[in-house]
Structure 1
């Protein structure tokens, strides 16, 4: 991408002058693409619950504060997905440690993002609440110089699709009731029966699956996206059946915190799949593609969103290979460890899955 190329050029220029540059992104997978990249929450120590009056969780005497004081450049990618309170919190914290009233304490900040893509997630939020959470609603927006990239580097081989995406993002594509968009027939699979339509989709996305099952390039260059986790689970169940090889099944161990009356039986816990957790029954095969759901080791690209291929399945570890990025082909061993307390899932109860 052109944006990533610019980031790397900025970082290389600053580092070549023996100055300090910091690269961050809102997600682990985006941060791993940047040289020495870290997630913004990890680098700036944002509190878990953030509000209009929050401050970063580092002191003026800490190593993080000293690093930020000495930094000549700070890059923050995917800022369009970030709640404005996070950016404002960093602004106030830099005012404090730099003892300077300029925006971000006088630091050179480079933000990157596209407001035509995914906006900040506001739980059960209305359209107005989501819009209010964006950087464009911050007091900092008017103080930021806007520079726009005009060419979509990802879809140069398909200009029609590129223009179609831009029309949707710019709001110029013709809409029908409730802002729905009619998809062109060329990119739609006609619906007759649910099972028939899904099988046709799988066949179109993964043609000759058995012959290419061992190819990392084949498996990492295609994917089926869905709107809900329940649909993803059904697609995964169909794909694992089609995939060649012997199947190994892993089962979770579920517990409730502070439930002496046993109001939530184990059978019920096994039936639910909260966001960010694998299903109770996880079926895997050798060479099967998987996506990591936790930030195990972001510095080595083992973070939420990393795509891997299974190389071996043990009782307590999974041997996998990273596909794509600067760490491609690197083999890693993922232990079957319990989640940390901070990974508890808040339902009507405290739920832990190992």
Structure 2
């Protein structure tokens, strides 16, 4: 561990060293405090987390690395999702507390913890941080009564992320509700020390000067899109909207129709001969804003695989209904429950083939890399489960059996609780932009039959690739023709509380 830390520290740049030393000083002086490391993808936030973790663990200290998403958590040594580690309630309010008993094992672990690292913090609701703050004060006062008055009970907490990315998801929420859910609107932000990482560590990868220049220009364009800066003047027309942007023509093919066939052939060339190649499949995906479009694209692509189709049907039940059983059966028949297609829930009739790419929809075992968002390829279709091989992340190549399990939506407006017993899988040649956050890909096709609808979606989609040669954008205008004019929704108010970038 010491050798690993020494190697990491040697390769740090000045910005990373400044943050590293400041956080270690806070820990060694027992100052506690809240820190936020702000930087775009490629600025070395994960590298910084690994350096801090290896340093403290080599000294026998306890570090708890967590992230807001399962994919980000797998990149951290011993990482877990924040909700899993700290028992944060799924449905939060301003008075929520973590479900940690004062005499539990996790409470004993927290009392010995020196540092908490929370990655991808901007996508989490501010109530989650306030909930953790209240709980840690309560837990840590057993060590010292004065800890009840200190932020996070005196434990040093480091948050990280990029406010250009997608902010907390508020169902049917408007701009003001999304912004008010950000951590920048929390009382904790007033005591937060902000560090800014500007230097992008991914940019010196070109084989020639021309490639290096292209990658640098692409990275700057991606940042400008994230900051809401208009790079190319948009022609003035009465129907133009405030957020309209004109995309460079190198990313759009304006001479061809944006048909599903053309898009599949562009992003998945020679698909039939490569449909079982895990490396080929792991490097590419089609991104689009809505679940409806994702479902349509995935069903078309999986039909192209030349193997037998297996259909797995779910068992659906309605629970927690105010009436009696007779009312329940008549009001919500099984056929109605089977027809329901809710975000975050697998389909009633899950159609799979050997060689199909799927994504996990639940955290099954984060220590084995089986978390929400993990991409896998189906290797066997059995009667009651499927065998899948992980094709991305730290556990690439490992195989696991995915069984049926009971799933229910965490927050719906339905007058009953839908319980669906099904394998937590969905076909994943195409995925929503929100689901892609945290993924890294070689080739991305951004399909926009309708424009993005919330802050950061366009930035997240174009920043999944690190090279301009891997991005293709398919935009339709109102008449269905190809265009390079689309919307880039950016809530610039979220940057007011941050240092200038």
- Cα separation, 2, equivalents of 1:280 and 1:73: 43
1:128–1:344 Cα change, 3 Å: closer
1:191–1:197 Cα contact (<8 Å) kept: no
Aligned to 1:203: 265
Residue aligned with 1:122, SS: coil
Q: TM-score, normalised by structure 2?
A: 0.66
1:83–1:134 Cα contact (<8 Å) kept: yes
Higher relative contact order (CA 8 A, sep 6+): 2
Aligned to 2:309: 247
Aligned to 2:19: none
- Cα separation, 2, equivalents of 1:337 and 1:104: 36
- Cα separation, 2, equivalents of 1:191 and 1:83: 43
- Cα separation, 1, equivalents of 2:413 and 2:406: 17
2:344–2:409 Cα contact (<8 Å) kept: no
| Structure 2 residue 150 is the aligned partner of structure 1 residue 102 | yes
2:118–2:160 Cα contact (<8 Å) kept: yes
Aligned to 2:181: 133
Q: List aligned pairs for 1:1-354, cutoff 5 A.
A: 1=42, 2-99=44-141, 100=147, 101-153=149-201, 158-173=215-230, 177-190=241-254, 197-257=259-319, 258=321, 260-261=326-327, 262-339=330-407, 347-354=414-421
- Cα separation, 2, equivalents of 1:154 and 1:304: 26
Aligned-residue offset at 1:170: 1.4
- Cα separation, 2, equivalents of 1:252 and 1:264: 16
1:98–1:253 Cα change, 3 Å: closer
Aligned-residue offset at 1:141: 1.3
Aligned-residue offset at 1:344: 8.8
1:345–1:352 Cα contact (<8 Å) kept: no
- Cα separation, 1, equivalents of 2:102 and 2:156: 20
1:315–1:346 Cα change, 3 Å: farther
Aligned-residue offset at 1:192: 7.0
Aligned to 2:4: none
Q: TM-score, normalised by structure 1?
A: 0.92
Aligned-residue offset at 1:342: 7.5
1:291–1:154 Cα change, 3 Å: farther
- Cα separation, 1, equivalents of 2:242 and 2:312: 43
User: What CA deviation, in whole Å up to 9, does each residue of 1:280-299 have, x standing for no partner?
Assistant: 22221112110000111122
Unaligned runs of 5+ in 1: none
User: What CA deviation, in whole Å up to 9, does each residue of 1:241-294 have, x standing for no partner?
Assistant: 122322222222223234623223333333321011122222211121100001
Aligned-residue offset at 1:211: 1.7
Matched positions, count? 351
2:67–2:79 Cα contact (<8 Å) kept: yes
1:308–1:320 Cα contact (<8 Å) kept: yes
1:315–1:190 Cα change, 3 Å: farther
1:246–1:152 Cα change, 3 Å: farther
Aligned-residue offset at 1:236: 0.7
Considering fraction of residues, name the structure with more strand.
2
User: What CA deviation, in whole Å up to 9, does each residue of 1:31-82 have, x standing for no partner?
Assistant: 1221111111111122233222222221322222221111111100110011
Unaligned runs of 5+ in 2: 1-41, 142-146, 207-214, 235-239, 422-501
1:190–1:197 Cα contact (<8 Å) kept: no
More off after superposition, 41-50 vs 215-224: 41-50
- Cα separation, 1, equivalents of 2:309 and 2:409: 32
